[in-house]
Amino acid sequence: MTASSSSNQQKGSYSIARKRMIQEQIVDRGVRDQAVLAAMQKIHRHDFVDDALKAQAYRDAPLNIGEGQTISQPYIVALMTQSLKTNKDHKVLEIGTGCGFQTSILSELAGKVYTIERIRGLGLQARKRFKDYGLRNIVMRVGDGSKGWEEAAPFDRIIVTCASPKVPERLLEQLNIGGVMVVPVSQKEGHQNLLRITKTKEGLKTENLGECHFVKLIGRHGYRQDREIKRKDSLA
Ligand code: SAM
């Protein structure tokens, strides 16, 4: 077998796995927004993980991306994206770029995406992926996303892909009236709920989309960085 025929075979098997993932993990669980499904088809999850994990890229699970962080489960990415109800007129802020998979999905649906990652190595890798994919409507910066991105605010949509200890007031201040935020918020010990918060002139409308499990939002308005993480970051 030549190198090119084996690479075509590989692409074919990713394509079959991706189609199954969309049907069985996403559509069958109730995510039916056609634009979201098209973006999940177009952006290839195996491009966002290390070579050693590519064969597992279409599994129904989060995967390790290094630095103690994860790429979210495909269903959660699709659910959060659908719940955000974004369109090409929207300016979106994402907190927690990670490997950049969710950012890339959003870039297909929104006008412009601002994204913040606190771990430099992950942020730089993600930026390279955006370039390789030709996604030009993404601006990424490395920093503490719990403070938001004041210079670029207000935003029409905000998505937080790490768990906040409380409803993030600072980010809500940077959301337009009529805007929507999707955010995992920690509740009792070990439990988190995925919330959709709509900001109206009259106040906030909060819907609980269900239980979830995310890594922590670490920063000034999030959790404190523990010693172990601090040590790893200083090595990065
Ligand atoms: N969005 C990713 C995807 O496509 O699968 C998943 C992101 S991962 C679950 C959460 C990310 O949030 C991690 O990369 C973590 O470093 C980042 N993070 C945690 N606290 C942060 C903060 N204060 N500001 C920016 N990023 C933060």
Q: Which of 170, 176, 160 is nearest to 114 (CA)?
A: 160
Q: Is residue 18 situated within a structural domain?
A: no
pLDDT of residue 9: 75
- In the block, residue with structure tokens 């929507």: 180
| Whether 164 is catalytic | no
pLDDT of residue 233: 47
Q: Is 101 in a helix, a strand, or coil?
A: helix
1, burial (CB in 10 Å: exposed 0-12, middle 13-18, buried 19+): exposed
Q: Is residue 154 situated within a structural domain?
A: yes
Q: Is 109 in a helix, a strand, or coil?
A: helix
Q: Is residue 224 situated within a structural domain?
A: yes
- CB of 215 closer than 6 angstroms to any ligand 1 atom: yes
Which atom of ligand 1 lies closest to the CA of 71? 5
pLDDT of residue 190: 77
Q: Is 131 in a helix, a strand, or coil?
A: helix
Q: Is residue 207 situated within a structural domain?
A: yes
- Domain holding 211, by residue range, is 61-234
**Annotated catalytic residue, options 5, 6, 7, 72:** 72
- CB of 115 closer than 6 angstroms to any ligand 1 atom: no
In the reported structure, the alpha carbon of residue 5 is separated from the centroid of ligand 1 by a whole-number distance in angstroms of 37
In the reported structure, the alpha carbon of residue 147 is separated from the centroid of ligand 1 by a whole-number distance in angstroms of 14
pLDDT tens per residue, the chain (236 residues)? 565 666 777 878 999 999 999 999 999 999 999 999 999 999 999 999 999 999 999 999 999 999 999 999 999 999 999 999 999 999 999 999 999 999 999 999 999 999 999 999 999 999 999 999 999 999 999 999 999 999 999 999 999 999 999 999 999 999 999 999 999 999 877 799 999 999 999 999 999 999 999 999 999 999 998 754 554 444 43
Q: Is residue 219 situated within a structural domain?
A: yes
The whole-angstrom separation of Cα 97 and Cα 1 is: 38
Q: Is residue 186 situated within a structural domain?
A: yes
pLDDT of residue 236: 32
- Mean of the per-residue pLDDT values for the chain? 93
Sign of CA dihedral 16, 20, 21, 23: positive
In this structure, the number of other CB atoms found within 10 A of the CB of residue 135 comes to: 17
- CB of 93 closer than 6 angstroms to any ligand 1 atom: no
* CATH code where residue 189 lies: 3.40.50.150
The whole-angstrom separation of Cα 77 and Cα 45 is: 11
Q: Is residue 40 situated within a structural domain?
A: no
Q: Is residue 116 situated within a structural domain?
A: yes
The whole-angstrom separation of Cα 197 and Cα 232 is: 34
pTM of the entire predicted model: 0.93
Domain count of the fold of the chain: 1
